[in-house]
Amino acid sequence: MLLLVGTYGYSLFADKWDKQLGHVNQVVQQVRVVTLLDHLLDGIVPLALFPENTKGFYFKGEKNTLTAISQNGMFSINDPVVFRLRLESQKDGTLSLWYEEASLDNLLITNAQQNIPFKTSIQLLKGLHSFEFSYYGWQSFDIKSQAAFEFDASKTRRWYAQYQGMQAQLHPEKLRLLLKLPQGQIELISHFTQNSETLMSNMEGG
């Protein structure tokens, strides 16, 4: 009888330990993924495009998706990448985060509508309660130019839920990502150049 009680007690302990260990492993994996995300977003760089007598930047930022260029891809070590972060809804009401990547080694991007042959697709996180981007900068190059010569409180930098580099003819200056996991909320902020139009001018002059 004592042996049975001891065995039962050990079984309960082992089961509890396995669950706790599984939870720890899950948290460790989430921390690793968030670290990779932070590195990826910090590596975003402006890519100037000049398709059909227009100009702008390859940056497609929405509330829940982002497609951009980064020097810190998760798989391509030696070359910059074009990447996309997107969400998928799960049956339990939570969200999963997917990452897609294509190396720019043999890929020439000429316009923002170009079909990208993503060669890598992987689920980074699951069980997300929310995942939202916001973008800080000028609404457009024209408004930034006007603000340099006239005082208008409405013409200033601000946060946006969407930011299209071709439409704005600028690259955002900052990016914020808020993601909510069962363990809590995480905020990532990445800073970029404040004068992306200079890069555009240099490329036009070259």
pTM for the full predicted model:
0.85
175 versus 155: which is more confidently predicted? Answer: 175
CB of 132 closer than 8 Å to CB of 63: yes
Predicted pLDDT at 95: 96
Predicted pLDDT at 199: 84
Short-list 132, 133, 126, CA closest to 92: 126
Mean pLDDT throughout 98-116?
95
Residue 203: pLDDT over 80: no
Percent of the chain with pLDDT over 70: 85
132 versus 13: which is more confidently predicted? Answer: 132
Rounded Cα–Cα distance for residues 171 and 190 (Å)? 13
Residue 6: pLDDT over 50: no
Confidence of residue 167 (pLDDT cuts 50, 70, 90): very high
Q: Could you tell me the two tokens for 76? A: 């391509």
Residue 3: pLDDT over 60: no
Rounded Cα–Cα distance for residues 114 and 116 (Å)? 6
Residue 206: pLDDT over 60: no
Mean pLDDT throughout 96-115?
95
pLDDT (tens digit, 9 = 90+) per residue, 25-58? Answer: 777 888 899 999 999 999 999 999 999 889 999 9
Predicted pLDDT at 8: 43
Task: Indicate the Cα dihedral angle 87, 167, 165, 47, nearest 10°.
Answer: 130
Confidence of residue 153 (pLDDT cuts 50, 70, 90): low
Rounded Cα–Cα distance for residues 12 and 135 (Å)? 49
Residue 172, Cβ density class (10 Å: 0-12 exposed, 13-18 middle, ≥19 buried): buried
> Which amino acid type is present at position 94?
T
CB of 44 closer than 8 Å to CB of 68: yes
Residue 18: pLDDT over 60: no
Mean pLDDT score across all residues of the chain: 87
